[in-house]
Amino acid sequence: MMFKHRSPSQQEKILTLALRQIEIMLKNMQSDGKDLSRLKLKKFQKTHHIDCSCKLCKTAKTKNDPRLRGLLEDGFKVYLPGSSKDS
């Protein structure tokens, strides 16, 4: 989500809606019997394909920094103990 062109009140509304959705998701997980006591949230970013030639990806390639690639998606992942992605 990009906040550049949004007013502070719009940003607050977006954050409130996102937090409400996260709360609903966690309550559903808990009601499904998941143990949330050792829950981990990790930020992730999904970028453009490695062969992309947009301005951001070209800059990332010349600077040899993949973190500068064009961003497609920004979010978070939930990990529970015992899952295959648990670290």
pLDDT tens per residue across span 32-45: 988 888 888 888 87
Q: Please tell me the pTM assigned to this model.
A: 0.53
Left if phi > 0, otherwise alpha if psi is -120 to 50, otherwise beta: which for 33? left
Q: For residue 45, give the nearest of 35, 60, 30 by alpha carbon.
A: 60
When comparing pLDDT for 30 and 77, which is higher?
30
DSSP 53-70: -SHHHHHHHHHT-GGGSP
At 11, list the tokens.
């940003």
Q: Give residue limits of the domains in the chain.
A: 1-34, 35-87
Reported as half-sphere exposure (CB side, CA atoms, 13 A), residue 16 has a value of 6
pLDDT per position as a tens digit, 35-74: 888 888 888 878 888 888 899 899 999 999 888 888 887 7
Position 5 scores a pLDDT of: 66
